[in-house]
Structure 1
Amino acid sequence: MDTSPIRKIIHIDMDAFYASIEQRDRPELRGKPVVVGGSPHSRGVVATCSYEARPFGIHSAMASHEAYKRCPQAVFVRGNMQKYREVSKGIMDIFYEITDLVEPLSLDEAYLDVTENKLGYPSATYVAREIKKRIKEKTGLNASAGVSYNKFLAKIASDYDKPDGLTVVTPEKAPAFIRELPIGDFRGVGKSTKEKFLEMGVHTGSDLLSWSEEDLVRIFHKRGHTFYNNSRGIDEREVNPYRERKSMGRETTLPHNISEYEDMLPIVKDLLQQVLSRLQADRIRVKCVVLKVKFYDFKQITRRTTLDDPTDDQEVLLAALGEQLEHIASLGREVRLLGVTTSDFHGAGDAAGGRGKVYKTTRYEQLRLF
């Protein structure tokens, strides 16, 4: 069991965020399977879907045409990122009403350290209920919350009883909770890692407990330490309110293949504008811009340009992308996806750093944490 200082961590995850916003704003969509992203006969991908669509096996990152095959009656909706960002900002404002130790992971989820909180409540469960209540009142949307003493368990708990769930994993309940956990739910276990574990006869947390740290490190290298610790309820990562963004990008799957420079350049320019709108709002300049290209045969390449000085000038960055695009066009190959990513940030966004506070408690005080 974890012997590090006990914290009160909440992981908030909005339920089917984009789809729920669309159903909120368009009453005719309520109760129907809604797919956000792409269209029935396009090459787009599903960004998210409503809970009514999930019994059909639809999930995020699925090809839109596959989602249509599984559920022809689904309603496909184009996403509105500006609207989603505005709703997200309102939700994040609620988090900061509770604590300054907020670590956003995306528009619709975040960790909060509420060991000490602005409400003055000793119970993290009570704080989580209050957060869910305020989100519902302000946005009309449901959120699920996981409450525990570390980030690993809080995140898993938030997904345990969706939608509109609240799951608490106390230090006393953690061992039994982890033993029953499917191996695919463990942090860092993707598709290939899950297959490897199943080959090893590891199906649950209980099975994982039987493996030594030495053997797990031998098989999975650095991740072996994480698997060993998580299976014992150990995760010493703190909630970091200053998570530094390393890059920002946008990409789009094209409705049909193109190969001409004149056809690709306007698309790349639009993607760059989308990225710059976020960067300029945060007063961030960049030194590196990357062009991503996926060809008709799904082969993918990236081309990176590093500038001498950081900039947020669209013309400068577009010129760099244009040079890379000319090379792509000279290949004469059909392109199905284009993307633009910026990195090596300078300015307001690159000074982030620091760590959350550490709070020590006695065993008696643990009883009041949850």
Structure 2
Amino acid sequence: MAEVILKGINKNFGETRAVCDLDLVIADGECVVLLGPTGAGKTTTLRLIAGLERPDSGRIIIGGYDVATEAPAGRDVAFVFQQYSLYPHLSVYENLAFPLRSPARRLGKDEIDRRVREVARMVRIEHKLENRSTRLSGGEMQRVAIGRALVRRPAIFLMDEPLSSLDAKLRADLRLELKRIQKELGSTLLYVTHDQIEAMTMADRIGILADGRLIQIGTPRDIYSNPANVHVAARLGQPHINLFPADLLPDSRTPAGTRTVGARTEHLEISMGGDANAQVEWVEHLGDQNHLHIRVGDCKLITLANPYLPVSPGDRIGLALRNPLYFGADGNRVY
């Protein structure tokens, strides 16, 4: 495995700037997740590291070597795409063995067999080795695609939203599997997604991308608790953070220069009886918790509540702030 360093990376497609002045260090054995919406520059960053695109400027260093001008085959990276990209006429075994039969590797038959069976056990498809890849479920096909990258033992794994085409249950299972495998191997992994749950559960560090720029990078807890601006705050949290004018709810601690308050569910305190300054518009019953849709003046807020809280649509409640986030007119944090 290897440390990966991006220095001053820029990439344009015509008039569109896909990646802008990107500086990023991925430590040996670290899992970094790039999180952002479509068009943020996530996939372009992966393709630049893999050599599928060339940067207009900047350096890409893998294991101490600048590979910005190297061909993809010379970079020692493995790419897992959003689509499975398996060879449909080959068995699972042959799909896993295919990268090891490259003339550049010159591995013996016994070593190939050992690696294939070891990786098949790791991704839990050893019982499917003789099956054609077209006779697998979606989750099994994605396991094969991941296994085909693992068998290579590259310097870095690049994964481009590999779980997005799976259903919710499979996504939850496979993201835990991926994290287990990454820790077991001690591999360096750069993973991109627009799914905040994948980012929070898998990453050692999360990088927030917007319009090709890396806005903030830190641990999942840092990004969630200490966002640098409104854009970063809105990327994490379920339900999404509530953003409203500074004078909407009483708060004696609002710092000077605050234009917008950001309140996650843990920043809102609900009280029954007494002074009521909000009205419940709708209650979503989710079993272990409720989503309350609340109106305060002209603003709509959403928060979580205990499922046993006796509230119904139309009820008046008290709403107070507890250590929320503050943002200035430019959208940046005010402390």
TM-score of the superposed pair, with normalisation by structure 1: 0.23
- Give the structure with higher Rg (CA): 2
- More helix as a share of residues: 1
TM-score of the superposed pair, with normalisation by structure 2: 0.24
